[in-house]
Amino acid sequence: MKKAKSTSTAKTVSSTEERDEVLANRLVELALGQREHDTYAELPTALQKMNADLRKTIKKCLQQRREQALDEAIERTCEEDIKAWRVLRENVEDLSGTILFRRDEGADVEVNAFVVPLFVHTTGGLRSDQCFQDEEAFEHLRDSFQDGGLESSKASVVLVSHAYHLDEIECIGYCHLNEMVHEAFDAMTRKKTSAADAIARSMRGWPQSSFAPDDNAIELRFLLGFVLKKMDDPFYHVPEKEAAADRYFEARAARFRKWSQQVMPLLQRSLVIDGRNVQIDFLYQDLFHGGVEAALAELEMLRLLSELQHAMEANGVAPEEVKAIVGPMETDEAVMLRVSLHAMANDTPIGAIDTPLNRMENMQNAIAEIADGLANAGIRNIQIAKLFDANGAPGAVRQWS
């Protein structure tokens, strides 16, 4: 028979581990204190200490797996001040997906989690029991990140043999991701095989497919991996001068485009084994949170364009026969952007679609992204409204160029 814990032991536990509410309050306070700081300016001494305290508290939450404290702090900060919310969220994302390991001898090393989002086109949709059955193809795919110049030849790369569904990716919380990064570090540095329970838990399984066998399916999936690199590796050194930095990132983007073409056959073998045709559109490899954010934005754009296409088809008009007006929508809740379509022949409204504004993106950039998407869809007459009123009427309309 097990003995109950003594009262003194219970008091010790409660005194050494702060409550989620206390940690959340501290995070909110520290983030609000840095809301007016320019991200690219040098921090004054007082803010340096505040930033160090913020990151120390975030690390504590991650180490103790206090997901609720982090989520509560981010939500409350968002309600109080959007600039403070960005400070807090960027620090939480950075520390959860990237871990720096100090070494007594030799260069310090860093491990980070990355994703490559994929839009996969098939007939009938993907089937989980077919994915990553070809071990040889998977090994070549893993090696390609270094062979193709996406990662340094001196680094170590771990790739998870699973095509993550968005539902699975969104279930990976900050503490869970941090635990996965630690497991990846162990796998790349220890001679003996170590357990990777957190990585195993992340593969929850795909939801049941709703595609019929003859449906043309487009599905979002993610490759998830980890890279261990030395902090003094010149491969990852971004030049300080702007022009040189631009050339550095342009070269990386060019290598990624070449890599995506070269690995297409490997991924096709890894995703489908019954001979069906597979086409893949790649989004750029990025750190975990940035890659997921980019994929969600692209998914929302595809949804928007699909609904606009349905509206045009229902009204029997082609893209070159319509005018699109884009602008913010007046609402009491979240900031929305509206796209309103009109037939150019008689200016008759033929449909309007609303999409939420991403908090991490400013209004001007979001409108430009939508306008570019409309242009790529064949719509040539695009206008920008300063605001759509509560009745859906656009005001202060100008031509987009």
- 277 plus 172 within the same structural domain: yes
Residue whose token pair is 């979240």:
334
Percentage of the chain exceeding pLDDT 90: 76
Question: Is the domain of 76 the same as that of 135?
Answer: no
pLDDT at residue number 191: 72
**Which of 74, 99, 124 corresponds to the end of one domain?**
99
Token pair 């030799």 is found at 106
108 and 214 in one domain?
yes
Last residue of a domain, one of 284, 316, 338: 284
Q: Are residues 90 and 115 in the same domain?
A: no
Residue ending a domain, among 99, 133, 163, is 99
Asked whether the beta carbons of 281 and 264 are under 8 A apart, the reply is: no
Domain membership of residue 371 as a residue range: 298-399
Contacts of 386 (CB under 8 A, 6+ apart): 327, 328, 395, 396, 397
CB burial of residue 381 (10 Å; 0-12, 13-18, 19+): middle
Overall average pLDDT of the 238-267 stretch: 96
The pLDDT of residue 192 is above 50: yes
**Same-domain check for residues 143 and 262:** yes
Report whether pLDDT(200) > 50. Answer: yes
Q: Is the pLDDT of residue 16 over 70?
A: no
> How many distinct structural domains can be found in the chain?
3
User: Residue 195: its pLDDT value, please?
Assistant: 78
pTM, two decimal places:
0.88
CA–CA dist 393, 355 (Å, integer): 16
The residue among 35, 38, 81, 75 whose CA lies nearest residue 54 is 35
Model confidence pLDDT, tens digit, residues 157-180: 999 999 999 999 999 999 999 999
One domain for residues 249 and 112? yes
Q: What is the rounded average pLDDT of the residues 225-242? A: 95
Q: Which residue has the tokens 């400070």?
A: 87
- Are 379 and 258 in a shared domain? no
* pLDDT given for residue 5 in this prediction: 44
C-alpha 72: how far from chain center: 20
Query: How far from each other are the two terminal CA atoms of the chain, in whole angstroms?
Result: 77
- Per-residue pLDDT at 47: 80
Confidence band for 1, pLDDT divided at 50, 70 and 90: very low
Pick the range with the lowest mean pLDDT from 34-43, 159-168, 170-179, 326-335.
Answer: 34-43
Helix extents (H) in 190-327:
197-202, 242-262, 264-271, 288-315
- Structure-model confidence comparison of residues 371 and 191, the more confident one: 371
pLDDT tens digit sequence for 95-122: 999 999 988 788 899 999 999 999 999 9
Q: Do 328 and 212 have their domain in common? A: no
Instruction: Say whether pLDDT at 381 is over 90.
Output: yes
Instruction: Give pLDDT, residue 43.
Output: 64
Same domain, 129 and 68: no
Contact 330, 388 (CB under 8 A): yes
Q: What are the tokens at 94?
A: 């950075």
In the three-class reduction of DSSP (H, G, I as helix; E, B as strand; rest coil), residue 248 is classed as helix
Tell me which of 30-44, 146-160, 319-333 is least confident: 30-44
Please give the residue that has the higher pLDDT: either 334 or 343: 343
Mean of the per-residue pLDDT values of the chain:
90
Question: What DSSP state is assigned to residue 385?
Answer: -
pLDDT for 41 equals 53
Distance CA 77, CA 96 (A): 18
Amino acid identity for residue 69 in this structure:
A
Q: Quick one: average pLDDT of 203-224?
A: 94
Report whether pLDDT(286) > 50: yes
The reply to whether 39 falls in a domain is yes
| pLDDT of res. 10 | 43
Nearest-CA neighbor of 34 among 79, 95, 87? 87
Residues 198 and 150 in one domain: yes
Average of per-residue pLDDT across 380-385: 94
Residue 344 pLDDT greater than 50, yes or no = yes
Query: For residue 292, is it within any domain?
Result: no
Q: Classify 28 as helix, strand or coil.
A: helix
